[in-house]
Structure 1
Amino acid sequence: MRHDVTSKSTYAASSNDEVTPIIGVVDRWVAEKPDDLAVIDGDRHFTWSRFRERIERNAAAQVASGVRPGDRIAFLDKNSVACVETTLAASLTGAANAVINFRLSPAEVAYIINDAQAAIVITGPEFVDTIAAIRDELTTVERVIVSGGPDDEYERWLDCGSESFAAVPFDPDVAFLQLYTSGTTGHPKGAMLTHRSLSAHSRAAVTGFRFTEDSVSMVAMPLFHVGGSSWVLAGMSVGAQTVIVREMVPGAVLDEMVERAVTHAFFVPAVYGFFLADRRLHKRDYSAVRCLGYGGSPMPLPTIRACLEAWPDVDFYQVYGMTEMSGVFSVLTPADHRDVTHPERLVSAGRVLPGNIIKVVDPDGNTLPPNTVGELWTKSQQHMLGYWRNPQATADTLVGEWLRTGDAGHMDPDGYLFISDRVKDMIITGGENVYPVEVERVVIEHEAVADVAVIGVPDDKWGESVKAVVVLNADGAVTEDELIDYCRGRLAGYKIPKTVDFVSALPRNSTGKILKREIRKEYWAGRTLHT
């Protein structure tokens, strides 16, 4: 099938597609197999009926705690069943679970909690000190609830609600999950994901990854990523069993995959590098594994080839997605991975999933022909409602029925997407998104710095690493190590520059804009984002 100007799935998105409450992903299986295992979280096992009962208690506790439709709850923790319960409970109360990246610095955590205007913060035991350190800055927080550990309060909190709790009337376009993605302003933006958008994503993902009722889905991606929260909902939508991984310890994760007979799992490319380095990699029995997905950052070709060799009987899927699209919307299939007649497709982002349409446009929004680089726009029910309390950013991203991805690339005549650059200069390091302006606004505050440009440079382990290219003041004096140390405590660890280069001036165009493409050339010479 040839795609001349746009790429479509086998069926186009339709506003008439039935949208049901997201809690239906649980209720169906409570009715059909209430005593079957639904979720494994460490040493705790939950049947479908018990899982649903805990969601109901969480919703009742939200209401008893003063949460009202339109409110946000902030959740700061590593992966846990409590986070999933809170998300699904919010779908009943009309609130939204704002899941926070636990790797952020205290200042960044405070910004998100205040932006969400959360009255309740649920936090894991590892982050109690973080919340305590910023407690005076949290202008709307009325209560902090510790989930897990010796001082657990969450289980008691579940008992504070009324047994007569009633869910709010269903509205398919109400957000119940809010995931934060950094932006060009330098501050995170809350992407509001709805019953409609996440239901549409689940339908597409089930088709794309071939989830079935007997699947065992491992959730190893953090729940503050769509690769975590959306992956959970997709598997549950067909009755799959969910195995929650709290921390990414490569050897332990591989062991658990075997122990739990996991069939489906998704990891960022850097994790596969750690897997391949595991001494016991080939001593395990992976016969249960059907699907291994990857995405979130470029996968080096040598790593892809090594994975295909290490798991010859496993289907590999590369994905292209984004928070604003509720997750994945394009996939490179297992057949594409092992197609010796088209080896060039290993560096593509695959083809669009059911329910989605993608086009490549010029700066004026005009559709471009195949093999012409432009910005990728997508249309489907998967797209977010908008950015929380940020109408300007919403208007810049949502154009009519289309969502601007901010990524540049081209589409070949067969509909395969190739990402060539990032329109917004985003850096993806180990699956984490870093926007240069976030780092630049910290570095420029150093008294010795006159100018700075932050870029991503090739990194064999993480895909890309963060580099600061700095111009010093005339009398400024600071070393690379000193400047990196200055960023500690002001930025999350993965955002801190790994290296700093000092130059006499940064290249700029006639309007004064820094030409980052020119700066990157030196570091990316002979390389592409996928090699």
Structure 2
Amino acid sequence: MYLTQSLHRSVQQAPESVSTICGDRIFTHAQTLERVSRLAGAMRNLGVRGGDRVAILALNSDRYFQLLSAVPWADAVVVPVNIRWSVKEIAYSLNETDTRLIFVDDAFAPLIPQLKEASPQLAAVIHSGDGPMPEGMLSFETLISESDPIPDAHRRGDSLAGIFYTGGTTGFPKGVMLSHRNIFASTLGNAALGAVTSQGRTLHAAPMFHLADLASLVGMSLLGGSHVFIPMFDPVATLAAVDTHGVTDIMLVPTMIQMVIDHPRRPEFDLSRVANIMYGASPMSESLLGRARDAFSSTKFIQAYGMTELSPVATSLVDEFHEDPILRRSLGRAAPHSLVKVVDPDGIEVPRGTVGEIVVSGDHVMLGYWNKPAETAAAIRDGWMHTGDGGYMNDQGFVFIADRIKDMIISGGENVYSIEVENSIVRHSSVAMCAVVAVPDEKWGERVHAVVQLIPGQSLTLAELQDHCKEEIAGYKIPRSLAVISELPMSAAGKILKRELRVQFQNTPA
């Protein structure tokens, strides 16, 4: 299977049905195919050939959607660029992949002069925004109107679909090579769990450069549905789009869900047509899950765990298990397309209930890291992707995260898994979100340090937090220091940037 296949089928079966809604623009499946084929023709005219890389640096839109089909249609490889990166980071990815063609919208057009200086191989820049076209760029709409359509290249399942750079939460990003088969294996596994509404309508609020949103996009396209776009996540814009356009499916991270359901304007909007909310990046706290179920009373919640290297899903926690007080803290079980086990440092599977490294195998495991054979060999061993996540599996196959292996805190010779401490902290009535990191300590080597974002109007002292945690976790796991901040640093994918917190609080006194 390949990424453009769903578009052909949708045009064959329902050409006049709605494909995309973006502001005032509405395109049918037939119109989308026409635009995609002309965009692909324009890329060919600009010198794009088989296997060439084409970058997209833009906010969410129907044009982004069209490009995700037009690039493989032109027999090329897509490089979605992280919208939160610096010019230096963007240039690194463009240079490493030898990208010569880039699409940018109004938000990122001002970066092009710097990018051209840092990436001199860039031969053409196409402006995909709605504002005035900057000097030296080509117009997205003009290219469509003036280019002839070309036949689909029909790239095959084992062909490279895209190079997706890791989020960079744990170090310098690497380009993850995913084939069309990789992406579809993950998509079909989610579809088998009923995580996508057939001929439904999905909202793209999470950033489209991120693989989690692409998985949502491919899944809804596979089932003949429609796509609604807002430029970037905003709680009111999300609520309004759900209400106005009858959205049935959304992919969000817990922090986004919290902002949506706790927004004072939320009661103004009808959320009853939402059938599925898929979330990832982290499990939801019990208090947040309860509020989310109240707000989306007709909705199934599905948690997906994975990583870019897994296209991206490895395990799924389906809706029914969210009612179990123990299982809802898990990552779920191996998705239908995935094999999962927990191993020791020698790669030997450990007994159930024993913490080790979570490893994954299947057709969704990446081809490798772009131009990094040593890193690829270290990550994929004997066909198993080593996630770097510590966890354990219970007797029923449910996987529980312990920690990123590199995030584990060793305090006084004891291993402390930060996620376990965080799960305790977020159950405090004053806490909205939290992160636990290691900071240097003269006595203990490392100390458990809690960084907390409070619910508006609430307060919290270290003594109050410690008293709360004493009821739930062992004494050596209890935070020995506390910082209350107004907003936790987040990646574009909605993950808390612990690396930044470790740097910020490394000199915190006991």
Q: Pick the TM interval, shorter chain.
A: 0.7 to 0.9
| Structure 1 partner of 2:301 | 316
1:403 CA displacement: 1.4
Which whole-Å CA distance do the structure 2 matches of 1:316 and 1:169 have between them? 35
| Structure 2 partner of 1:99 | 80
Which whole-Å CA distance do the structure 2 matches of 1:501 and 1:23 have between them? 47
Note the 1:31-180 alignment, pairs <5 A: 31-152=12-133, 153-159=139-145, 161-163=147-149, 165-168=150-153, 170-180=155-165
Contact 1:300/1:460 (CA < 8 Å) preserved in 2? no
Letter matched to residue 140 of structure 2: Y
Which whole-Å CA distance do the structure 2 matches of 1:346 and 1:393 have between them? 34
1:415 counterpart (391, 394, 397): 397
| Structure 2 partner of 1:330 | 315
1:194 counterpart (179, 198, 208): 179
RMSD: 3.0
Structure 1 residue runs of 5 or longer lacking an equivalent are 1-19, 437-452, 463-479, 481-492, 506-521, 523-531
1:320 CA displacement: 0.5
1:300 CA displacement: 2.7
**TM-score normalised by L of structure 2:** 0.79
Which whole-Å CA distance do the structure 2 matches of 1:134 and 1:347 have between them? 43
Which whole-Å CA distance do the structure 1 matches of 2:10 and 2:154 have between them? 22
Does residue 397 (structure 1) correspond to residue 383 (structure 2)? The answer is no
Which whole-Å CA distance do the structure 2 matches of 1:295 and 1:115 have between them? 29
**TM-score normalised by L of structure 1:** 0.76
Does residue 259 (structure 1) correspond to residue 244 (structure 2)? The answer is yes
Which whole-Å CA distance do the structure 2 matches of 1:358 and 1:107 have between them? 36
| Structure 1 partner of 2:8 | 27
Cα 1:455–1:226 shift into 2, 3 Å: farther
Contact 1:330/1:352 (CA < 8 Å) preserved in 2? yes
CA displacement 1:288-329 (0-9 Å, x = unmatched): 111112111343332122212332332111110211111222
Question: In structure 2, the residue corresponding to 1:309 is in which secondary structure?
Answer: helix
Question: In structure 2, the residue corresponding to 1:114 is in which secondary structure?
Answer: helix
Letter matched to residue 100 of structure 1: V
Note the 1:247-326 alignment, pairs <5 A: 247-326=232-311
| Structure 2 partner of 1:465 | none
Which whole-Å CA distance do the structure 1 matches of 2:248 and 2:118 have between them? 44
Which whole-Å CA distance do the structure 1 matches of 2:502 and 2:391 have between them? 27
Question: In structure 1, the residue corresponding to 2:39 is in which secondary structure?
Answer: helix
Letter matched to residue 141 of structure 1: L
Which whole-Å CA distance do the structure 1 matches of 2:321 and 2:366 have between them? 29
Which whole-Å CA distance do the structure 1 matches of 2:41 and 2:454 have between them? 45
Contact 1:331/1:349 (CA < 8 Å) preserved in 2? yes
Which whole-Å CA distance do the structure 2 matches of 1:461 and 1:149 have between them? 39
Which whole-Å CA distance do the structure 1 matches of 2:454 and 2:84 have between them? 19
Note the 1:310-459 alignment, pairs <5 A: 310-338=295-323, 342-425=324-407, 458-459=451-452
Which whole-Å CA distance do the structure 1 matches of 2:154 and 2:263 have between them? 50
Does residue 500 (structure 1) correspond to residue 492 (structure 2)? The answer is no
How many residue pairs are counted as aligned between the two chains? 434
| Structure 1 partner of 2:467 | none
Which whole-Å CA distance do the structure 2 matches of 1:335 and 1:169 have between them? 39
Contact 2:37/2:151 (CA < 8 Å) preserved in 1? no
1:286 CA displacement: 1.7
Does residue 207 (structure 1) correspond to residue 211 (structure 2)? The answer is no
Which stretches of structure 1, 4 residues or longer, exceed 6 Å deviation after superposition?
426-429, 453-456
| Structure 2 partner of 1:16 | none
| Structure 2 partner of 1:485 | none
1:87 CA displacement: 2.0
Larger RCO, structures 1/2 (Cα 8 Å, 6+ apart): 1
Cα 1:183–1:361 shift into 2, 3 Å: farther
Cα 1:455–1:24 shift into 2, 3 Å: farther
Question: In structure 1, the residue corresponding to 2:504 is in which secondary structure?
Answer: strand
CA displacement 1:181-205 (0-9 Å, x = unmatched): 0569942111112111111122112
Structure 2 residue runs of 5 or longer lacking an equivalent are 134-138, 409-417, 423-434, 438-445, 456-482, 484-495
CA displacement 1:197-235 (0-9 Å, x = unmatched): 111122112123442333111121111111111210111
Which whole-Å CA distance do the structure 2 matches of 1:455 and 1:62 have between them? 53
| Identity within the alignment, % | 30
1:237 CA displacement: 0.2
Contact 1:219/1:265 (CA < 8 Å) preserved in 2? yes
Contact 1:87/1:96 (CA < 8 Å) preserved in 2? no
